[in-house]
Structure 1
């Protein structure tokens, strides 16, 4: 497909992975992003590369593909150029493994059953004795009822990993244009997307990839092909650097349930891991609050409380910052990867929620094979665009709630303006 022009809409880690694969395949690739490369969802993640939190099914197969590809991709990037080697070092690839810990009898039973189903799907899941757990994580709580070790779990530094993928894409001939918000699509009479309109003009191409993460739903609507991808917020605490305290990615057995939940209300579970710099990352939370970007003390407090159940020794450790971000949520909890049957020329690569960092390289490979018409390494059908969860609009009640929220905000603004006018009148008197 040499000479085929592809525009990837979104320069986060999913967009970078897709652009890299397409550029290496010989396509003329341009990345467009309304902000900066990797500046939104990607830079607000934890860097998880997990198989431990996924039950048997299509997402696990995508995770297993990605886990196999990550070290291969990073090695290839490092070999291609000195700049790539530096970026790979900044990606901080760490195949540290993960440990899932239950603290109740019910949790232990559920963890044992879940691990058994994963083993049947070729996931390494090793049950740990109390002594083995204590040797692996000396600071873990004594009040545990079961633990399973997942040696295939790994971690990257999200921004560094995205930069490595993007650097390789650019080295392969891709171009990056930031500060280019897509305003609308240009569709021919035959119903094909041939261009996107930005403040700088029309960008034309043979195919377009919607990789806008939590904004994919809104972008799809602008292009005339909406998809049910919505933001789901997560928050993370970061401690000051500590002596070696946490040696794996450790989370409680509730985490899988929180990931798979479709509830709009707050879902929290303990996820604790160290970084190369010595800080400890503490998560996790999930809230469907639109694009509300305020940090909520009650959410951070709930996250911290869950973490202390796993690592009581963290009590009193200073937290130097907290951050949150939006993850692309789809009701059936599966990514959206493939061609849009409603609009020729449009493709999608989104809906990974909090797993986008880990699933990025597998998604890029899957999309490339689909675009080229080559056999895919895993079944792509479950990720298709024309499945009910992707094409069904949000429930009417949710739309009404949003309208009501906007109405309340307008009323509050009007009330505040009236109070300010009254204050000014009194000052003038």
Structure 2
């Protein structure tokens, strides 16, 4: 079977790897460079802590189990900077504490390792964290990767397994016959195949429309601040409990919450923000100021630390906050692997496994029905993207 993966971000790279290792003839088409868009502008989160019971949590748990296995089989795995350092979620108000404790209890009932921490345990784990907290929960399963490095590891594994990568190749439209997609017209010519995987991230909605089967995947922007390298200061991924609410919000206006974590290089990543502004890529000082203010409430020691840079990126947003994974029933041969919003890094390998199982006619290890491409939230609107930004 010839499979054409449309997009070489981390989800596309994971799908290409999974399918190539299964013996399929895989071609990856990328308009720009591999992992150069959404993937390069992420934090590298591999989280279970921010997901309540339900299908996304099951996908996250599958992915968390797969990540070490996937990297163990890669000769260049060090580039991914896998770090199973765990996460800590803290509340800073009485209401926040009650909600965090309720949320963590629901996760434990679903099988997540969510451990309440007392003040002494929290101080030992994060000595520079504010003492003005009302509750804390540790999540040992949370991990981190370097996003572009991890995507490179996955793509390299696909190429070693026989996949082909074509960059600078923009998809312009579909070639169909008898209700099936048989090829795509691109800026480099016609590319034929038996199956086509839409893994174009925030541009998936526009790409699907070009192919004649629109899905409601839209861009949602997020920003991150990066400090200068510091001595060890933050030892886990630490975030305020209101982050979960921001992730699940459908509001289009600015949502910010405190998310603080270190990197192997010693820099500190400060997030996060969410806002729906189309593909407007301008950095807004007021957004960066809001991120910094909330981060300082958690880690006052960061006051005065130089910010080395700031960056923003677009995440693929779906109104019901679930990825789109599986076949498109309107156009035979078209498959989707998108809509992960800010969780695409962590969910990529699980998504690829589910997609491969479905494409091969096998029952996946988790129920794929909630991710289907014909659910109302996905078909309820059409992504509107400026022509110059289409994948």
Partner of 1:60: 57
- 1:228 partnered with 2:225: no
- What's the TM-score once normalised by structure 1's chain length? 0.89
Partner of 1:271: 259
Paired with 2:19 and 2:263, the residues of 1 have a C-alpha distance of 32
- 1:296 partnered with 2:284: yes
Q: Give SS of 2:294's match.
A: helix
- What's the TM-score once normalised by structure 2's chain length? 0.98
Q: Which has the higher helix share?
A: 1
1:191 deviates by 1.0
Partner of 1:14: 11
Partner of 1:243: 231
Q: Give SS of 2:261's match.
A: strand
1:321 deviates by 0.1
Deviations 1:73-117 (A, max 9, x none): 00011xxxxxxx23x111000000000010000000000000000
For the pair shown, the structure with the greater C-alpha radius of gyration is: 1
Q: Which runs of 5+ in 1 are unaligned?
A: 78-84, 404-429
Q: Give SS of 2:132's match.
A: coil
Partner of 1:325: 313
Q: Give SS of 2:325's match.
A: strand
1:375 deviates by 1.7
Q: Which runs of 5+ in 2 are unaligned?
A: 387-391
1:201 deviates by 1.1
1:105-184 matches, cutoff 5 A: 105-184=94-173
Deviations 1:188-232 (A, max 9, x none): 1x1110000012211000000000000000000000000000000
Paired with 2:172 and 2:81, the residues of 1 have a C-alpha distance of 36
Paired with 2:8 and 2:187, the residues of 1 have a C-alpha distance of 18
1:394 deviates by 5.2
The structure whose RCO (Cα within 8 Å, separation 6+) is larger is: 2
Please identify runs of 4+ aligned residues in structure 1 that moved more than 6 A. Answer: none
Partner of 2:389: none
Q: Give SS of 2:73's match.
A: helix
Paired with 2:338 and 2:363, the residues of 1 have a C-alpha distance of 21
Paired with 1:207 and 1:243, the residues of 2 have a C-alpha distance of 49
Partner of 1:219: 207
How many residues in Structure 1 have an aligned counterpart in Structure 2?
Answer: 386
Paired with 2:363 and 2:51, the residues of 1 have a C-alpha distance of 24
Paired with 2:79 and 2:189, the residues of 1 have a C-alpha distance of 35
Paired with 2:182 and 2:85, the residues of 1 have a C-alpha distance of 45
Q: Contact 2:214–2:382 at 8 Å: present in 1 too?
A: no
Paired with 1:284 and 1:345, the residues of 2 have a C-alpha distance of 37
Paired with 2:137 and 2:187, the residues of 1 have a C-alpha distance of 52
- 1:358 partnered with 2:346: yes
Query: Over aligned residues, Cα RMSD in angstroms?
Result: 1.1
Deviations 1:296-321 (A, max 9, x none): 00000000001011001111100010
Partner of 1:406: none
